[in-house]
Structure 1
Amino acid sequence: MSQQAGYSPSFKRPAEIMRMRRKRARSEAGVFSGHGSTGSPGQSASSPDSVRPFSPGPLFNPQSRSGGGIKRRNPFANIENTYSPRKKCLVYNDDGNAEAADRYKVKKTLTEGDEDMSTECRGVLPLRLTQVEKHQHRDTSRKESVTFSEDDSLFEEEEEDVKSPLLKSPQAIAPASIAPPMCTEYPADWSLKTRLLFTSPLSLSWAQHPKAQEEALGLSQHCRAQFSTLPHSLQDPRSCSELRCAFQQSLVYWQHPSLPWISLFPRINAERNFTGKSTPWAQDTALQQSLMSEWSVSLSSLYNLLKSRLCPYFYLCSYQFTVLFRAAGLGGSSSITAFISPTTRGFREAMKAEGIEFSLPLVEERRKSREQQNLTESQGEEEEPKEKAQECSELKEGEDCRASDEGGNDGYDEDEDGSFSWLKEMGVQDKIKKPDSISIQLRKEGHAVSLDHKPESVVCVEGSHTFTLINFLINCRSVVASAGSQAGLPPTLLAPIAFRGAAMHTLKARSVNVKTQVGSTFQNISSLEVTGPILPSSLYTITTLLRSAQKGNFSAALYTHTPTAVMNTHTAEQQDTGGSVDLSGCGLHPASIQQLQQPSSLGKTALTHISMNNYSYTWKN
């Protein structure tokens, strides 16, 4: 690189700089004493013209500076440590006047007589710059290209990264004109919600205090499965009678048994709700039998409706577990499915004794992932002998693999005597004490019990085995508590449509206007709180109404009943049936049916937040 006048070619050490300054001070003292001239300290009077005051940068002519003396140059200056592409440089014209020009864009108007320059601009060098840094230090990982604008009077000096475009962010690669995709729907969530909290910059007061006629019309539309069509955006939701009727319709659910003085949902860890309440059935055996008889009739009625595709789904909530029954065609399954969560080893053993075939989806998924991982590792280590790999797998079987294999069948098919055959082959069978059958059985049971009351213990029953499960639940003693505050009380049945012995209930809605601080100002925010056993179809209907009423701008916080969060997991033989199963007579809105037919993408988690901005959904789980 060509060096310029008055420019330090390399970085100097501090000791060398101090030595140069002392030498310069002595020479300046001799000159000043000989000629009697005065100057600023540290300034050499014999310095040549065009000394660079602060390097790097264009040369300064001392005569062109107005005011005091010339500032000394920076001895530590170097192009490598002071060059900034964002800084503007001075470009000198032919007449000697300096103009500020951007580092990346330089505009020069061609004169009429400068035809050669115009021709040269269309070639390789667009401009003939004088006294500008032509030899700049460029990074080896970048290359520069020159592109001309439409009028050929502007050119841009672009830097193209040589690195792979895969290392860039998608926002940097994607054109700025492409808008992000809009999500008009959120994934189906099969968990039960206990509370919804909606917030919106627009008022939500239309959702409460309905008129008597509006409430009656909403209940009638729910019973007759009639749905009103609302426009895409409502100008005045408070004066829209159809919106308020549809909102009352979305709050309805059906429950059995119905005891007005006791809240029958949730039932798991809900002893506080029953403490101090009147429970006349606790000590009356005849009353308990009457309650169980009516409950059995209601459960049988629900299953018949489900089998006939007149009921989309229903929940059974006991004091220990929750069961979700889904009709064929929902959740991507072509048959009736039932999820039970959480379960215990004793409950699973009882199901086996009744001949109910079931699967543990989360345990099988973990086992498949481990097998896939082991297969990948074995492919990367093909040089290892097969005998050694088999021996390692046998040693790990009792520690790692047994826990996952235990979930599918709660037992081992491996022969106990065969597991210790390798001791006989080594000739040390008499020196090592074998564990007795009781120890082996306790170890097997320990792996099975470790799943109890955990999300991994969720059980999936499919097809005709769901009918056997109904009979099992009716006759099983573990569905009813034998002691405690819930003793003798049958499980709670929840459904979106009417069934035998059910009572109509509505969710509680309350609207409040609050002020929240946004920066230094306060902004009015309207909130809507919905409480109760919120079913998946109710959640979808409420969000659909808010989309029209709030002009596509609202957010919601969802509070999930924890034992039901894992019911979004996939079944063992899940397939996307699409619209092959006709569910038009199940009593739900066609759009809600379409959403529930899709396989859930949430896995073992549930939605916690939903936000809509400009009619586009975003969510968290």
Structure 2
Amino acid sequence: MAGKNNPWSYDEGLQQILMSEWSLSFTSLYNLLRAKLCPYFYVCTYQFTVLFRAAGLGGSDVITALISPTTRGLREAMKSEGIEFYMPFQEIRKGKSNASSSHLESGFANDSEGTGKDAENEEEQQLGCDNDEDDDDDDEGFLWLEEMGVQDKIKKPNNISIQLNKERHEVQLDHKPESVVLVKGTNTFTLLNFLMNCKSLVASAGPQAGLPPTLLSPVAFRGATMQMLKARSISIKAQVNSHYKDAFSLEIVGPIMPHSLHSLCMLLQSAQNGSFSAVCYSHEPTAVFNVGISNDKNIKESPGKDLCNCGIHPNTLSQLALSPMLGKSSIRTLEVSDYTYTWKV
């Protein structure tokens, strides 16, 4: 039955044609992004989602791509293809460790030279990951056993066990928001080729079997089709104190992209005299795309003149150019009163 409804699921020739056309669409969309005629777009696979941003958006002056969630296998495959990437949450963790180590170093600055060396050793231990700390504890434990004269009765972990222990931390990140990876600059073009040649990008079973990933963009591109969001308006009587007041709600279902949400807010702000509320339901795996992608606070957060030709409202572009601040969270509720915005994540 599934084969009759989805003829591409068993026809390899048709799958190759679909993938070939998809590759042309993907390349076309990336070229629009590079030419600053497209602000951003999504690549939605059955395993992960990729967000490509044009230079000048998200607080970055180069093209960026965020992938979430990822697995160790995917990250290793990207490394083998020469794709340089960063893990923002791991960088944040290292930054906190460096700050903690600097604090320790300043605290011991007035100690003797011998104590200073000990502090440096402690600092290096603080910079290590949890697995390295476990290894140090194991070494200290074996030194203690050696002093007791019973070290021969205890089996010390071999190199393979130590390596597996280090890899365990990487595997624990799989499919979690912390596994998000960031690709910058020219590496995004290498990522483009990697995704087009990645066989695991297409599902081999299920309703999406044999279908290329979905491309979502705010602008038209080769092979694209326009999809309408489903909207439904409701009018009800809401009790306010001792009387009833007309209340109106608008329900919009579908992939609401960031620029659409901002445009809706501008529309409602004007139509409702600066007072309205909204409830948002996010696609959880993509909420992590709100993570900051740049540590340079001196970057000029401006979309630039060229990006203004992409068809997005200038006010919306100004918002998209700002560096994200929500981290792993997304806006759940939005309250607007007298043109003042408040939100909860």
TM category (shorter chain) comes to: 0.7 to 0.9
1:319 to 1:494, Cα distance in 2 relative to 1, 3 A: same
Partner SS, residue 506 of structure 1:
coil
Aligned mate of 1:400, from 121, 125, 130:
130
Given the alignment of the two structures, is residue 366 of structure 1 paired with residue 93 of structure 2, yes or no? yes
Q: How far apart are the structure 2 equivalents of 1:276 and 1:523?
A: 54
1:463 aligned partner: 185
1:204-240 residue CA offsets vs partner (Å, 9 max, x unmatched):
xxxxxxxxxxxxxxxxxxxxxxxxxxxxxxxxxxxxx
User: Partner amino acid for 1:336?
Assistant: I
Q: How far apart are the structure 2 equivalents of 1:569 and 1:314?
A: 17
1:173 aligned partner: none
1:487 to 1:276, Cα distance in 2 relative to 1, 3 A: closer
Partner SS, residue 497 of structure 1:
coil
Deviation at 1:388, TM superposition (A): 4.5
Whether the 8 Å CA contact 1:359–1:572 is kept in 2: the answer is: no
Deviation at 1:393, TM superposition (A): 6.0
2:256 aligned partner: 534
2:327 aligned partner: 603
Q: Output aligned runs, 1:476-491, within 5 Å.
A: 476-491=198-213
User: Partner amino acid for 1:564?
Assistant: T
Given the alignment of the two structures, is residue 434 of structure 1 paired with residue 156 of structure 2, yes or no? yes
1:578 aligned partner: 301
1:615 aligned partner: 339
1:353 aligned partner: 80
Q: How far apart are the structure 1 equivalents of 2:48 and 2:231?
A: 28
1:374 to 1:330, Cα distance in 2 relative to 1, 3 A: same
Q: How far apart are the structure 2 equivalents of 1:530 and 1:360?
A: 34
Given the alignment of the two structures, is residue 589 of structure 1 paired with residue 313 of structure 2, yes or no? yes
Q: How far apart are the structure 2 equivalents of 1:397 and 1:374?
A: 7
Deviation at 1:478, TM superposition (A): 1.9
1:60 aligned partner: none
Q: Which has the higher helix share?
A: 2
Deviation at 1:401, TM superposition (A): 6.3
Q: How far apart are the structure 2 equivalents of 1:475 and 1:399?
A: 34
1:290 to 1:375, Cα distance in 2 relative to 1, 3 A: same
Q: Output aligned runs, 1:214-225, within 5 Å.
A: none
Report % sequence identity.
53
1:328 aligned partner: 55
Partner SS, residue 21 of structure 2:
helix
Whether the 8 Å CA contact 2:39–2:53 is kept in 1: the answer is: yes
Q: How far apart are the structure 2 equivalents of 1:368 and 1:581?
A: 30
| Higher RCO (C-alpha under 8 Å, 6+ residues apart) | 2
Q: How far apart are the structure 1 equivalents of 2:261 and 2:177?
A: 23
Q: Output aligned runs, 1:182-331, within 5 Å.
A: 278-331=5-58
1:364 to 1:395, Cα distance in 2 relative to 1, 3 A: closer
Given the alignment of the two structures, is residue 475 of structure 1 paired with residue 197 of structure 2, yes or no? yes
User: Partner amino acid for 1:349?
Assistant: E
Q: Output aligned runs, 1:15-94, within 5 Å.
A: none
Deviation at 1:461, TM superposition (A): 0.2
Q: How far apart are the structure 2 equivalents of 1:604 and 1:457?
A: 11
Q: How far apart are the structure 2 equivalents of 1:372 and 1:291?
A: 51
Aligned mate of 2:106, from 379, 401, 410:
379
1:9 aligned partner: none
Q: How far apart are the structure 2 equivalents of 1:557 and 1:491?
A: 28
Deviation at 1:487, TM superposition (A): 1.7
User: Partner amino acid for 1:612?
Assistant: V
Give unmatched runs, 5+ long, in structure 2: none
2:283 aligned partner: 561
1:395 to 1:371, Cα distance in 2 relative to 1, 3 A: closer
Deviation at 1:280, TM superposition (A): 1.7
**Alignment: residue pair count:** 332
Deviation at 1:366, TM superposition (A): 1.4
Q: How far apart are the structure 2 equivalents of 1:532 and 1:276?
A: 27
User: Partner amino acid for 1:606?
Assistant: S
Deviation at 1:285, TM superposition (A): 1.1
Whether the 8 Å CA contact 2:34–2:54 is kept in 1: the answer is: yes
Q: How far apart are the structure 2 equivalents of 1:591 and 1:322?
A: 26
Computing the radius of gyration over CA atoms, which structure comes out larger, 1 or 2? 1
1:17 aligned partner: none
Partner SS, residue 281 of structure 1:
helix
Partner SS, residue 286 of structure 1:
helix
Q: Output aligned runs, 1:166-181, within 5 Å.
A: none
Deviation at 1:520, TM superposition (A): 4.5
Q: How far apart are the structure 1 equivalents of 2:123 and 2:79?
A: 29
Whether the 8 Å CA contact 1:335–1:462 is kept in 2: the answer is: yes
User: Partner amino acid for 1:370?
Assistant: S
Whether the 8 Å CA contact 2:303–2:318 is kept in 1: the answer is: no
1:542 to 1:572, Cα distance in 2 relative to 1, 3 A: closer
User: Partner amino acid for 1:615?
Assistant: Y
Alignment TM-score, normalising by the size of structure 2: 0.87
Task: Let me know the Cα RMSD of the aligned residues.
Answer: 2.9
